[in-house]
Amino acid sequence: MNNARTYLRGTLILLCVLGITRAKAQDIHFSQFASSPLTLNPGHTGAFDGDFRAAMNFKDQWKTIANPYRTLSFSVDAPILKDVITDGAISAGLGILSDKAGDLDVGTTQLNLFVAANKSLDKQNNISIGISGGFAQWAIGGDAETQQWDSEYDPSSAGGYSNNSIGSASLENFSYGDFSTGILWNYLGDIKAHAGLSLFHLNKPNMSFVNEPEQLNAKMAFHGGAEIYVKDETVSVLPQLLFLKQGPQTEFNIGGLVKYRLREGSRYTGEIEETAIYLGGWYRFADAFIINARFDYMQFALGVSYDINISNINVATASKGGLEISLLFATPSPIKRRTASPLM
């Protein structure tokens, strides 16, 4: 019985490792996608009303499962050359991603550089086109030599297992380059609206631990949102949507937030920052309901969300998904630019 149990455990671990290398649709993404601007679209680089922005996102997914997914993202971006484009700027950013899961801490660490051109088309419309390039490393944080795999099962040997036939060296780590691009449009009229299209993994990097080619599918993301005032400028509704397609897999998120301003910010300068609270959520089709609360104060925005699973995995998770925390910081521009809010 113990040997059978050990064999099953080894099989599940192997399937987990190989599943990660072949899970082309399981890319890093956050439920609070609008609060992680650079992972959503390189076109977001510098496309905000301010001089500097930093964003941090943390997700702890499927806590009821042993060693769940843990994802951390940190990015900074800013307009750095404001005189080279008429009514625009060249902007740059830097992003770091870390994603780990499982008994072996299988995951990725990635460093990305972002560059974008931001341009005001008129008093109400502006556009931003961005690119990103980075270096990533997939690795096993645990000791692969201490694990037992299904290919090692040998009922004739003592303990039921032979020596490690896979070899830890081929499973320890590999590195790859990754390139993406995106375009973003902002409208600032009686309502505020934005829409963007981004393409990730343009070079389709190899994602296999073993010596077999296994390309990461390119991913397309379409996103949009608006801010519609319903009571003066005190209360507004912010509908949002996100559509992702990567290989044969698709994901669709729709929902929004209700925003209540406790204090209005300066209209023409950045001297007074608004204070606001948000409540709402999203529905990720056939997967989860997401509830979200957010608080804007001065130069900071703190968001907290929780995923409630409704997919088949809820048998293992008891319908519990993941806690996610986002934190945005932005320094306002002394003179407001006709771009999106730095905390959007």
Q: What pLDDT, on a 0 to 100 scale, did the predictor assign at position 10?
A: 43
Q: What is the pLDDT of residues 135-186, one digit of tens each?
A: 999 887 655 555 554 555 555 655 555 555 444 545 567 899 999 999 999 9
**Residue 336 resides in a domain:** no
Please check whether residue 156 lies inside any domain of the structure.
Answer: no
CATH number at residue 57: 2.40.160.40
State the pLDDT at residue 127: 97
On whether residue 2 sits in a domain, the answer given is no
Q: Which residue has the tokens 């319908």?
A: 319
Confirm whether 201 is domain-assigned: yes
Report the domain count for the chain: 1
pLDDT of residue 5: 46
Cα torsion 207, 208, 213, 214: sign: negative
Instruction: Quote the pTM value.
Output: 0.82
pLDDT at 179: 98
Handedness of CA 269, 276, 225, 196 (dihedral sign): positive
Looking at residue 146, what is its pLDDT?
54
The pLDDT assigned to 52 comes to: 96
Write out residues in the chain with pLDDT < 50, as ranges: 1-2, 4-25, 149, 165-167, 169
The amino acid that residue 136 corresponds to is A
Tell whether 49 is covered by a domain. yes
- Decide if 293 is inside a domain: yes
**Residue 7 domain flag:** no
Please tell me the predicted confidence (pLDDT) of residue 267: 58
What are φ and ψ of residue 157, in 5° steps? -95, 160
pLDDT of residue 335: 55
Half-sphere exposure of 267 (CA within 13 A, CB side): 1
pLDDT at 69: 80
Containing structural domain, residue 201 = 31-142+173-331
With respect to residue 70, please indicate whether it lies within any of the assigned structural domains. Answer: yes
DSSP structural state of residue 265: P
Angle of CA points 145, 149, 150, to nearest 5°: 160
Pair of tokens at residue 164: 């490690």
